[in-house]
Chain A
Amino acid sequence: MTEQTIIDITIPELLGKVRECQEKGMRLVQICCTRLPEVLEIHYSFDLEYAFTSYRLTLQNTDTPVPSVSGIYLPAFLYENEIHDLFGIKVEGMAIDFKGKFYQKTMKTPFNPAQPSGEAK
């Protein structure tokens, strides 16, 4: 197994850390959001020569906007649109904003345990 590091960061630190990764020549591997019972976590994962680093952002709710990193890593806009559509997180300044139309769902999104599931639009 390869080296793997997970580092907790805050929203004000996000852009600086991502910019550092770009300057080091790291590849954006993924941005993934997971919903835990109390909080939401967003992982910004990078790779350099198969060494894996993930920066974890913890959000208490979906009301707090998160700055987009697509100005630094362009392909991030796809992950950010997905996170917006499926989890309802506001991402500010996306390079391409699909305005909630990236995921074409007949079910109501974002999926939220507090909402009745399967409700049609």
Chain B
Amino acid sequence: MSNRTIIPFGPQHPVLPEPIHLDLVVEDEKVVEAIPSIGFIHRGLEKLVEKKDFIDFVYVAERICGICSYIHGMTYCMSVEQLLKLEIPDRAQYLRTIWSELSRIHSHLLWLGLTADSFGFESLFMQSWRIRESILDIIEETTGGRVIFGAAKVGGVRRDVSSVKLDEIMKKLRVYQKEINTIGSVFLNDTTVKHRMQGVGVLSQADAKSLGAVGPMLRGSGVSQDMRMTGYASYGKIGFTPVVETAGDCYARTKVRILEIAQSVDIIQKCIEQIKEGPIEVKVIGMPDGEYFARTEQPRGEVIYYAKGNGTKFLQRMRVRTPTFANLAPLLATLRGCQLADVPVIVLTIDPCISCAER
């Protein structure tokens, strides 16, 4: 039997955009166990709900994460709207869907760039992020923000987007889609990329289910599960089928994300075709009372907002379960038995967002 060595991985590591620590127990070059620890950026944001009124707390929810901030804000709003029994206007629901899908496109492009960087393909990293900048430009044109959109609001959305602007966005997205297809074909067909990802970090369908994986991590293992199927916002009117791959390896997870970008463009097109003129918000009357779990699909997977109100302007309690936290157990399972050199790629394929996970 080889000697066992413990190699600390993170919290500061070139491939980690955010801090998580893994103690990698290795025998020669083979990882036999990974032990995680988190908490380096725990901010206790959920506790603030006791001091910020339920209307203002959306600003805090949006700041839980800098990548999927909009969906955080929207999901928080959905949980409170359910407590208030508010009916959100159709136009606001369509705008929420459009911004959610723009968030997904830019998040997946960010992830593609980071992954290319993790295996040293710097030009692919650069191209992924170049296209992402164009998506951020669209977000800035429609919301005024690039990272924190500030567009989510209890009762609807803060800004309207004219039909002329929506048509312009669609034309731009079709151009960017061609560019994304070009880099996508490199990710999916390049020999070096395939060598680094095919057969690496395999998570079986049974393990993905039993370990509670979510998002592309789950769908890359052949499980067709996506919270958008529940029909929140305007997904129910658009019609939607999750992207699923069956290999369960890093390559399958990459393919799911690349195909989801194209799917997001199609969803935005359907929204633009179906959206009708109308109000973008309803008046908020009353105070939240009761409890509710709001569930939506972030780029990384299912996010849950639990809100509990007691009829005052302050929520009694709020709790968030983020997709990265749910994907930690599957990550530990995929690391077991892998080569040390593959650890960065495998860690990245869960698309870790530690700010989300620690709140």
A contact residues vs B (CB 8 Å cutoff): 1-2, 4, 6, 27-30, 32-36, 43, 45, 50, 52, 54, 73-75, 77-78, 82, 85, 98, 101-105, 111
Contact = CB atoms under 8 A, between A and B. Distances in A.
B110 interface: no
Interface size class of B (residues with CB under 8 A): 35 or more
A1 B321 contact: no
B306 A111 contact: no
The 6 closest A-B pairs by CB, nearest first: A103-B39, A75-B329, A30-B321, A75-B212, A34-B317, A104-B39
B230 A103 contact: no
Given A50-B230, A74-B211, A78-B329, A32 B321 contact: yes
B37 A98 contact: yes
Contacts of A4: 292-293
Given A50-B227, A75-B326, 19 more contacts: A1-B232, A27-B209, A29-B302, A29-B304, A30-B304, A33-B319, A34-B308, A34-B317, A34-B319, A36-B308, A45-B304, A52-B293, A74-B211, A75-B329, A78-B325, A78-B329, A82-B325, A103-B38, A111-B44
Interface of B: 21, 36-40, 42, 44, 47, 82, 209-212, 227, 229-230, 232, 291-293, 295, 302, 304, 306, 308, 316-317, 319, 321, 325-326, 328-330
Contact of A6 (B21, B40, B291, B328): B291
Nearest to A86: B42
Contacts of A33: 319
B319 A104 contact: no
Contacts of A32: 304, 306, 319, 321
A103 B295 CA distance: 25
Contacts of A105: 39, 42
A54 B232 CA distance: 20
B303 to A, nearest CB: 10
Nearest to B44: A111
Contacts of B306: 32, 34, 43
Contacts, number: 77
A102 B291 contact: no
B96 to A, nearest CB: 14
A104 B40 CA distance: 6
B304 A104 contact: no
Contacts of B317: 34-36
A27 B291 CA distance: 21
A78 to B, nearest CB: 6
Nearest to B47: A111
A27 B38 contact: no
B10 to A, nearest CB: 11
Nearest to A43: B306
Contact of A45 (B40, B82, B293): B293
A109 to B, nearest CB: 8
Contacts of A1: 82, 230, 232
15 contacts: A2-B230, A4-B293, A27-B209, A29-B302, A32-B304, A32-B321, A35-B317, A36-B308, A45-B304, A50-B230, A75-B210, A75-B326, A82-B325, A102-B36, A105-B39
Contact of A29 (B40, B44, B230, B321): B321
A39 to B, nearest CB: 11
B304 to A, nearest CB: 6
